[in-house]
Chain A
């Protein structure tokens, strides 16, 4: 009952052009049926994400570990709440990040869980920068 060959083939890596995404904006793309949020973060959002005491977080992880160095403005996360799989809404909640409408989990501008029942941070999908304005997810 595991995924069949066509489903696996359809899950191959995809390329996303980032040039149309302005600062403060974000886009949602689908990869393997999952929504991936790509946020072009503002300076304020980056500072907020880096300003917190990492040890105080429920799932401690530094912002540096969640983005690619040299591309700090880009946050790429799988937009599926780690609680029960709903899709959080971007730019909502108290932490300038994501808010899940189902059970009230709140994530910060680095996609890290800050409040609510979710146990873990929004996962970062495997991706790399092909050029300065293009990434490959998968």
Chain B
């Protein structure tokens, strides 16, 4: 992409092609001999990481789309079936869902790197603006992708975000109707979002080509911000940059794999494991973490239209950055004031992200307003002003001079600060869902926790018995089939035992030749029959509160861990909020209602249930279910067993996930190590 190449392939067949379509020469000049500045640091590997992530998202996304059903009644179930039944479907889904977060994480690093080193300055304005366009497309794609699983957060996120457009005067309502394809978010909305979610990544790929083209015309910026002058200032792209990027990608994969295999739900919202319900709004609607700073800006501005304008301006302002910052020195390395303000800006963004996840009340609103002002002030006041008053330090004459003068300043401290800040930011989500009241469920020791966790087979079998004899009279288990009981990583029954278990159930089938529905004994392929034909019947039979389906309950319930626990959770892989909560609710019944709590007629007091008034009467009592293996028949033991069983129903492939995760980690660590030493060897005489 940098002018005509003098590349001549030696193979005659390739020569024949090259004379007609010089694609090999293009590749050769762009990715082999292309001169790349000698002094690039690891922040520059994020370009390669982003290309890798885009490829990853498209690849996993195309396969997921083969199994997904874009229909309001079927979408949620089809996603669950991908996770449960498709070969390695759980892996594909985790890769795609965590991949979105990793993609945004990498893009934020990439953007901040550009901001710090002045990569948007002349002659790279168009390169920068193309980057902002990619970022906008990514946000649209990410948002529509989040709608597809059709959980509660999907539905309500879609409602809130599409309603942003209703703020536009005169045309707002018609635009929203056009987005919905109906009078509210519904099946037509899901269909068009699926179509666009499939289209936009290819548009992104197209703009990425332009972005790389512009990059290869203007040449890469570098940490010192001086253009390469002689050949001594650059190294050829291959092998130098290729191998360095390879090492960068390998390290990034380690972080990515940590989420995929050990913390797949850390960045997600428990509410999205509840199927979309247009009649119930979740108590806190929180977007994915990567939108939180903008969501905070939206909510800080009390006027609706102004809030929407503020939110979009926060992104659009980036397009004008090359002209807002007129300083001639590119790199903040040589701009003492700009450097400080840059870090203040990073902190402002992280704090805005934190506030975006908090309920919009009291001090959070005021802090949000102050930080919104700070955000815009950085672009509109600080940068234009600095370019006039700041006295930059002298810039080296050339890149080779800068390398010679390179002090051994530790980038590590910055990296650590960034990781800690990132963890705080990511974790703020968990914090946001803190339930009212201080009654946090007590932690338990679960057999399935940790990187090597496995289900306790005995507990699974006992839990199944408790479910069958107690819970099943009101709660369904509709995503679990009898055949699952005989699958690896489950309760460990044989195929024959599972078939025998199934045959004890009566399953409705039909119609037969006479057109009648009939009942027959269950088969292994059948799913657990639900106790009620529909939600209304369940509601009517239970005093107005429908007993939820238990298939996903341990993933659909959570509680706020609060600061600083959510940071430790990332490292300790604690993700058993759901099981802790379920087991606490089962044991949290108390006939003695504490003072100050009023329990309405027909409800019961429960210490751990949000609001304390639960419609379910105390379900378990000592000795209610008999155990054949001599385990204690106490409420505590029942709760533990049934919760273990429900964790398995929520994630039947958890053991496979953790096992494969270990193998992947061993491989990745070896691979990253090899890449590192190869990189050292390649760069040995280039420093």
Contact = CB atoms under 8 A, between A and B. Distances in A.
Nearest to A103: B360
B304 A35 contact: no
Nearest to B184: A33
B160 A85 contact: yes
Contacts of A3: 177, 180-183, 188
Contacts of B284: 101-102
Nearest to A120: B304
- Chain A contact residues: over half helix, strand or loop, or mixed? loop
Interface in B170-196: 177-186, 188, 192
Nearest to A100: B281
A119 interface: yes
B283 interface: yes
A63 B278 CA distance: 28
B279 A84 contact: no
Interface string A1-35: 11110010001000000000000000010101111
A93 interface: no
Interface string B285-319: 10000000000000100111101000000000000
Given A34-B183, A84-B164, A117 B159 contact: no
7 contacts: A3-B183, A7-B183, A34-B184, A35-B278, A84-B164, A100-B281, A104-B361
A86 interface: yes
A83 interface: yes
B278 A33 contact: yes
Interface in A80-98: 82-87
A82 B172 CA distance: 13
B360 A104 contact: yes
A77 interface: no
| Number of chain A interface residues as a range | 20 to 34
Nearest to B163: A85
Given A4-B188, A85-B159, A32 B283 contact: no
A119 B281 contact: no
Given A28-B279, A86-B156, A2 B178 contact: yes
B310 to A, nearest CB: 12
Given A3-B177, A7-B182, A86 B299 contact: no
B280 interface: yes
Given A84-B159, A86-B159, A87-B281, A117 B302 contact: yes
B160 A102 contact: yes
Interface string A38-64: 000000000000000000000000000
A118 interface: yes
Contacts of A30: 278-279
Residue of B162, B278, B281, B284 with most partner-chain A CB within 10 A? B281
Nearest to B167: A119
Contacts of A118: 304
B283 A101 contact: yes
A15 B463 CA distance: 48
Contact of A35 (B164, B177, B279): B279
A85 to B, nearest CB: 4
Contacts of A102: 160, 281, 284-285
Contacts of B361: 104
B181 A87 contact: no
Interface residues of B, number: 36
Contacts of B159: 84-86
Contacts of B162: 85
Nearest to A35: B279
A30 B184 CA distance: 11
A87 B155 CA distance: 12
Given A11-B183, A32-B182, A33-B184, 14 more contacts: A2-B178, A3-B181, A33-B182, A33-B278, A35-B279, A83-B163, A83-B304, A85-B159, A86-B285, A87-B279, A87-B280, A101-B281, A104-B359, A118-B304
Contacts of B186: 33
A4 B182 CA distance: 8
A1 B195 CA distance: 12
Nearest to B187: A7
B303 A119 contact: yes
A86 B184 contact: no
Given A35-B279, A84-B159, A102-B281, A117 B183 contact: no
A117 B304 contact: yes
Contact of B188 (A7, A103, A119): A7
A32 B281 CA distance: 18
A7 B360 CA distance: 36
A3 B303 CA distance: 30
B160 A84 contact: yes
B183 A32 contact: yes
A33 B188 CA distance: 12
Contacts of A117: 299, 302-304, 307, 360
A11 B185 CA distance: 14
A88 B605 CA distance: 26
A1 B192 contact: yes
A82 B173 CA distance: 12
Interface in B260-283: 278-283
Nearest to B305: A119
A100 B304 CA distance: 15
Contacts of A119: 303-305
A1 B181 contact: yes
A84 to B, nearest CB: 4
Contacts of A7: 181-183, 188
Residue of A30, A82, A84 with most partner-chain B CB within 10 A? A84
Interface in B301-359: 302-305, 307, 359
A97 B156 CA distance: 22
Contact of B181 (A4, A28, A83): A4
Interface string A67-87: 000000000000000111111
Nearest to B359: A104
B162 to A, nearest CB: 8
A22 B304 CA distance: 36
Contacts of B166: 85
Contacts of B304: 82-83, 117-119
A82 B179 CA distance: 17
B281 A86 contact: yes
Contacts of B164: 84
Residue of A33, A34, A82 with most partner-chain B CB within 10 A? A33
Contacts of B181: 1-4, 7
Interface string A116-132: 01110000000000000
A102 B164 CA distance: 14
Contacts of B279: 28, 30, 35, 87
A84 B283 CA distance: 14
Contacts of B185: 33
A131 to B, nearest CB: 27
A84 B179 CA distance: 15
Nearest to B304: A119
Contacts of B281: 86-87, 100-102
A11 B186 CA distance: 13
B299 A103 contact: yes
A26 B304 CA distance: 29
A27 to B, nearest CB: 12
Contacts of B360: 103-104, 117
A1 B162 CA distance: 15
A33 B160 contact: no
A28 B544 CA distance: 14
A53 B370 CA distance: 33
